[in-house]
Amino acid sequence: MDILLKNVDMQKIMDSGQCFRIKKLDSDKYFVPSGEEACICVQQDKDVKVVASSINSEEYWKHYFDDSYNYKYLEERMSNCMFLADISTFGKGIRRLNQDPWECLVSYIISQRKSVKAISTAVEKLCEMYGKMSCIQGITWYTFPTAEKLKNIYEIKGSYEASLGYRDSYVYSASLFLQEEDFFENISMLPYYEAKKELKRIHGVGDKVADCVLLYSFGFNQAFPVDVWISRYISNNDYFEDVNNLFKSEMGIVQLYIYYYMRNHKDEDEEV
């Protein structure tokens, strides 16, 4: 299988903090899992090629990498905004992924008061303990455990024994909601504020986690997750409201570029 994704930068996607299981295999090769599927990608200059997949569907990975959205046009408009020009250039090639909703929900429940490194470790541990072993091009990996599996484990053990701490019960709460028929399907059909309200019914899901799931799994580009980094950015920039008014329905994607810049740009003295 060969799927070509134009103007995509895998390293930036990996460093953008939106997903926690992408692995770099060598200088230009990446392993990309999503729920119970996975693919192998190769960076070829400015483009990315999917060279192997667990699922025989071009559409699955084109949707995952948000291939139908015009990022070039967004980056152009950001470049024309004096407040975002540097941020746009620095993040060129980022994509807002459409991740597996269940994996995304659990990952962000786990994320609270943890570092990115600690989140990755915990999520990986959960997969190794309760996911299914699988193999693609000689690479052994573990699928993300299903809601049913995590529900049963907690009911038997009372803990996931995966360094989740107090978040154990939050993950269990989420697994119970997944027993409702078409829980995620219903969320995808709702308007943004209703969808957010629905997700926040889950114990352990607040504004931040709900917005991350709506943005990174359901494509609600107006969802704007505010974490410590974005909060720092907003408080340091009086013009934030102007940016917000300019990009309104796409502020979630703009947020991703800002987050990537805040976390990865080396010149920390520079005001952004």
Partner DNA sequence: TTCCAGGTGGACA
Partner DNA sequence: TGTCCACATGGA
Q: Which residues are near DNA by CB under 7 A?
A: 16-18, 111-119, 121-122, 163-166, 200, 202-210, 212, 225-230, 255-256, 259
Q: Which is nearer to DNA, 53 or 255 (CB)?
A: 255
Cβ neighbours for 261, distance < 8 A, ≥ 6 positions apart: 86, 87, 90, 91, 272
φ, ψ dihedrals at 271, nearest 5°:
-80, 125
Nearer to DNA, 147 or 199 (CB): 199
Tell me how far, at minimum, the Cβ of 43 lies from DNA, in Å. Answer: 20
Alpha helices per DSSP H over 8-81: 10-14, 58-64, 71-79
Q: What is the DSSP secondary structure assignment for residue 143, as one 8-state letter?
A: P
Q: Which is nearer to DNA, 50 or 104 (CB)?
A: 104
Nearer to DNA, 147 or 212 (CB): 212
Residue 173 CA to residue 95 CA, distance in Å, equals 30
CA distances from 233 to 13, 29, 259 (A): 20, 33, 9
| Closer residue to DNA (CB): 17 or 145 | 17
Q: Minimal distance in Å, beta carbon 76 to DNA?
A: 23
**Min CB(185)–DNA separation in Å:** 22
- Of 127 and 212, nearer to DNA (C-beta) is 212
208's CB contacts (< 8 A; 6+ apart) are: 108, 112, 225, 226, 227
CA distances from 230 to 17, 25, 57, 235, 263 (A): 12, 30, 35, 9, 10
Distance (Å, whole) CA 93 – CA 258: 13
CB 41 within 8 A of CB 50: yes
- Indicate the residue among 43 and 255 with the shorter CB distance to DNA: 255
User: 176, 135 in Cβ contact below 8 A?
Assistant: no
Minimum CB–partner distance for residue 121 and DNA (Å): 4
Strand partners, 136: 139
Taking the complex as a whole, the smallest distance from the CB of residue 58 to DNA amounts, in Å, to 27
Shortest separation between residue 154's beta carbon and DNA, angstroms: 14
Minimum separation from the CB atom of position 193 to DNA (A): 14
